[in-house]
Structure 1
Amino acid sequence: MSDELSASGLLNRLDLKTLRLFAAICEEGTLNGAARAAAIAPSAVSKRLAEMEQALGCLLLTREPRGMRPTPAGETLLHHTRRMLASAEQIALELAEHAKGVRGIVRMLANLSAIVQFLPEDLRAFQARHGAIKIDLEERPSGGVIRGVAEGAAEIGICSGSVAALDLRATPYRRDRLVLVMRREHPLAGCATIAFADALGYDFIGLHAQSSIYDSVRAEAQRIGRPLRLRVHVPGFDAVCRMVQADMGLGVVPEQVFGLIGGAMQLAAVPLTDPWAARALIIVTRPGTLSPAAGLLVAHLSPHAAS
């Protein structure tokens, strides 16, 4: 039998029900747990697993005192199983939307900077022209946006241009500038601009560890050779400004974000002069043809790069 025919035969035996059961075994760690999750008898789970291992010709799970653990082959199958199950679920959701009259759904990932600063108005303008297209938007850090688009979790991503785009197609979207946020009575509040190095003697509030802004701040402190006096990590820009308001330290946020949040908290912002503080946001897509709805959205977002 040729490799192609062999692969085809294996695929015919890997139905979604079996894959869902395999994922349940991995997640629950036991056959009994998977049986409860699937509402079937443990003996049926054991039989299905044995048949799958026989069909694939390799051991997928090892039995240990505390439960079951995937083998290297099992880890590979689990990785692809999760992607296939997510795709199957998305197919069902999108077809259900089509049944309701929605003519397109675009799955989109974006970092927090894009979601807070630019996407509300840009997406409102898009849907004013294309009201039959639904947008499924999820927030992720820039590195997560890249990985998500590369793995097929979304057709479109918007992230910081400082993150390696792997093999994705990158299109300019917007530009922003980072500012140093502080209380109005802070000694640096009277500066017209400031270099990041001149602020390193003070305490800082940091965004979460996966944030591209935090990566830039940490990398600059390391390049200068001075410690970053980080007092706390917080999940978002509003939390950064709130911590600054409570006199916990300085923060770094995009200038337009400060305009939306910081002013109401009676804070001050000073533009950073460092080159990395002038940032580009990019649109990332996988090589190849986009769906018609995604193509319309990329075409709508791309002209904003010039502005």
Structure 2
Amino acid sequence: MPDCSTPSILNRLDLKTLRLFAAICEDGTLNGAARRAAIAPSAVSKRLAELERALGCDLLVRDPKGMRLTPAGETLLHHTRRMLASAEQITLELAEHARGVRGFVRVLANLSAIVQFLPEDLQAFLGVQADIRIDLEERPSGGVVAGVEEGAADLGICAGGTDTRSLLAHPYRGDRLVLVVPTGHPLADREAIALAETLDYDHVGLHRESSIYATLRDEARRLGRPLRLRIHVPGFDAICRMAQAGMGLGVVPEHVHALLGPQMQLAAVPLKDPWARRTLNLVVRPGALSPAAALLLAHLRNAP
């Protein structure tokens, strides 16, 4: 009977074995994985058998097309990829420390924060703290919260209405949403407009996980009207480009229009709905931050 105690399992999950397992999954054959690892196929087969025996379950099964993952194998592959990525990141960061880097800060932020505010705020921070490295990744607001909770980042920036669950939240910046339309559009000369007045027109929306799209969708439902969404796009630049081409109305933060709109001959009409004025929040896990992360948090909380 296999020993399934936690220490025994962990002893089998060394990086070499995990790399071999990932190679088998990616290549689909033991021979292909053996060629990639420059070892004999029999050694790969033996290592896989030992791993399955230690875990007490089959990870791969043979079929006419090669090796196929079992449900347990899919679970292990998911965690294997994360562990190998973490091991690679450890190597890179330690090499940076050897070159004099004092600390790393991992940041997750939504698109609004990255486009509008973080370029200047991070530039100002790194101008003073040149020996700190920042790893910035874009995620939708819900993904920011999940990533910080899971420890994938030291701090995050998300939309103010996001459920921050166990995290501590601090105000960061505020923005206002505007409607972007070509300068010749019937709505272009309005001083302000409510979303309800735009629902007879086609819209161009951000991806489905974005907080802006969710707000527009939910508000249209509250009004009892459909949101005539013509297309989803991944970013604000694509919204502006689609609006310029006459594909539909777009909703973006005011500062985004200031950056992109004039050269595309797009007018910005402020939305007068209360939800159009938003807050972006900084989120961190309770407890002590690393010195580098604490410095960045303090800098962003004091941003103008």
Whether these two folds match at TM > 0.5 is yes
Secondary structure at the counterpart of residue 172 of structure 1: strand
Equivalent position of 2:289 in the other structure:
290
Inter-CA distance 32–160: structure 2 relative to 1 (3 Å threshold): farther
Higher alpha-carbon deviation: 34-43 or 83-92: 34-43
Shift of 1:247: 1.6
Give the corresponding residue for 1:238. Answer: 237
| Deviation string, structure 1 residues 120-177 (Cα, Å, up to 9, x no partner) | 1111111121111111112222233223323332222212122322333322211111
For residue 212 of structure 2, give the secondary structure of its aligned residue in structure 1: helix
Question: Residues 5-154 of structure 1: matches in 2 within 5 Å?
Answer: 6-154=5-153
What is residue 267 of structure 1 aligned with on the other side?
A: 266
Other-structure match for 2:169 = 170
**Distance of aligned partners of 1:212 and 1:125 in 2 relative to their CA distance in 1, 3 Å threshold:** same
Alpha-carbon distance in structure 1 between the residues aligned to 2:216 and 2:43:
54
The amino acid across from 2:167 in the alignment is L
Task: Report deviation, 1:59.
Answer: 2.0
Offset of residue 267 of structure 1 = 1.2
Residue 195 of structure 2 is aligned to residue 199 of structure 1: no
Distance of 1:117 and 1:241 partners within structure 2: 15
Q: Which moved further from structure 2: 170-179 or 148-157? A: 148-157
- What one-letter code is carried by the residue in structure 1 that aligns with 2:121? D
Matching residue's letter, 2:164 = A
SS of 1:270's equivalent in the other structure is strand
- How many angstroms does 1:261 deviate by? 0.9
Distance 2:269 2:108 in 1: 30
After TM superposition, the structure 1 stretch with the greater mean CA deviation from structure 2, 39-48 or 256-265, is 39-48
Q: Separation in 2 of the partners of 1:70 and 1:128?
A: 49
For 2:277, give the aligned amino acid: A
Distance in 1 between residues matched to 2:221 and 2:181, nearest whole Å: 22
Q: Which amino acid aligns with 1:269?
A: A
Instruction: Give RMSD over aligned pairs.
Output: 2.1
Unaligned runs of 5+ in 2: none
Give the Cα–Cα distance (whole angstroms) in 2 for the partners of residues 88 and 138 of structure 1.
Answer: 18
Q: What stretches of structure 1 of length at least 5 have no aligned partner?
A: none
Separation of aligned partners in 2, 1:25 and 1:7: 24
Displacement of 1:57:
1.9
Mean CA deviation greater in 25-34 or 183-192: 25-34
* Stretch of structure 1 that moved more, 222-231 or 117-126: 222-231
- How far apart, in 1, do the equivalents of 2:191 and 2:281 lie? 29
Structure 1 segment 152-163 matched on structure 2, within 5 A: 152-163=151-162
Q: Is 2:208 the counterpart of 1:209?
A: yes
**Partner secondary structure for residue 73 of structure 1:** helix
> Please, what TM-score do these two structures have when normalized by structure 2?
0.91
Amino acid at match of 1:106: V
Determine the C-alpha separation between the residues in 1 that align with 2:178 and 2:216.
12
Q: Distance in 2 between matches of 1:286 and 1:75?
A: 30
Identity among equivalent pairs (%)? 72
> How many Å apart are 1:255 and its aligned residue?
0.6
Letter in 1 for 2:215: S
Inter-partner Cα distance in structure 2 for 1:10 and 1:285: 32
Offset, 1:61:
2.5
Deviation at 1:281, TM superposition (A): 1.1
Higher deviation after alignment, 244-253 or 280-289: 280-289
